[in-house]
Amino acid sequence: MRVKVDGATLHVEVDGGEDSPALLLWPPGTCTVRTWDYLIPRLAERFRVVRIDIRGCGESSPAADPETQYTFEQYAQDACDVLDHLGIERCHVWSQSWGSRPAMVFCAFNPDRVISAALYAANTDPADVAAQRTGTRRAAQLRREAGIEPIPIPAGLTAHRHPDEVAPAMQAARKFDLSTVVGKLAMPVLIGTGSHDPNLVSSRVIAANAPNAKLAVLEDVGHNGMLEHPELALRTFFEFHDSLGT
């Protein structure tokens, strides 16, 4: 599905029944809607799942004005416009890694539209990419030793129609102080972060300062639990929603 918004045309995919509660997914940085392919069949049994390639990434068009439209505020507005297009008033949110950054902005700016948020690998600080890679390798080793088989990397995970636009789109992280919105996350929030993810330091701070948040540490997981250990990521997510009665 193609949805026209201010200054861009977004690639959107929707799965699940129209009468199910809506779930808006935010993928990791430089990744596409394909991030969630492994989990979609089970998510769609319970939710109406909405996936969006942010402008400049995946199959979405570039921003008409890169300076003003590659921002978290714009990505949050784009999500609102997509929800409006689909006739969705309120939704749950699930995000992973870099995607938790615009997801936090979306939730804080639109609290009336957000029922709950699961923010995986959430971080308000600059990313320590080297430490993320080290932690991810160590976690992978531990999972291998435990006999946990990895899933195949989803086809098209980092395939972009406009590859030169991806880096500018990611620069949104430099334009917004996420610490200013943590206290505005009043909806039920799950922070799900890997035990070997350096983001865990910031995740603990977010969980302590968001008014209605709890932290789940994903054991033997690095920076990207959705792809590293999807069964654990999904089980933790469903347990959160079981507690909410979703």
E strand map for 59-174: 91-96, 114-120
β-sheet bridge partners, residue 190:
118, 214
Q: Which amino acid, one-letter code, is at 146?
A: A
**pLDDT in the model for residue 236:** 98
pLDDT the model gives residue 214? 98
Q: Are 89 and 39 in contact (CB under 8 A)?
A: no
Q: Quick one: pLDDT at residue 20?
A: 98
Q: What is the pLDDT of residues 57-82, one digit of tens each?
A: 999 999 999 999 999 999 999 999 99
Tell me the percentage of the chain whose pLDDT exceeds 70.
100
What residue numbers bound the domain in which 12 lies? 2-244
Cβ contact 103:124 at 8 Å: no
The confidence score (pLDDT) of residue 15 equals: 99
CA gap 224, 226 in Å, rounded:
5
Q: What is the rounded distance in angstroms from the CA atom of residue 83 to the CA atom of residue 13?
A: 12
pLDDT in tens, 149-198: 999 999 999 999 999 999 999 999 999 999 999 999 999 999 999 999 99
CATH value at residue 92: 3.40.50.1820
3-class secondary-structure state, position 115: strand
Give the global pTM. Answer: 0.96
Residues 229, 207 contacting (CB under 8 angstroms): no
Give the model confidence (pLDDT) of 76-134 as tens digits: 999 999 999 999 999 999 999 999 999 999 999 999 999 999 999 999 999 899 999 99
Q: How far apart are CA 135 and CA 225, in angstroms?
A: 12
pLDDT of residue 201: 96
Query: 225: which residues sit within 8 A by CB, 6+ positions away?
Result: 96, 120, 121, 192, 193, 194, 218, 232, 233
pLDDT at 19: 96
Tens of pLDDT along 26-53? Answer: 999 999 999 999 999 999 999 999 999 9
- What are the φ/ψ torsions at residue 184 (nearest 5 degrees)? -95, 0
For residues 47 and 18, what is the distance between their CA atoms, to the nearest angstrom? 9
Report the pLDDT value the prediction gives residue 195, as an integer from 0 to 100.
97
How many domains does the structure of the chain reveal?
A: 1
Q: Give the pLDDT confidence score for residue 234 in this predicted structure.
A: 98
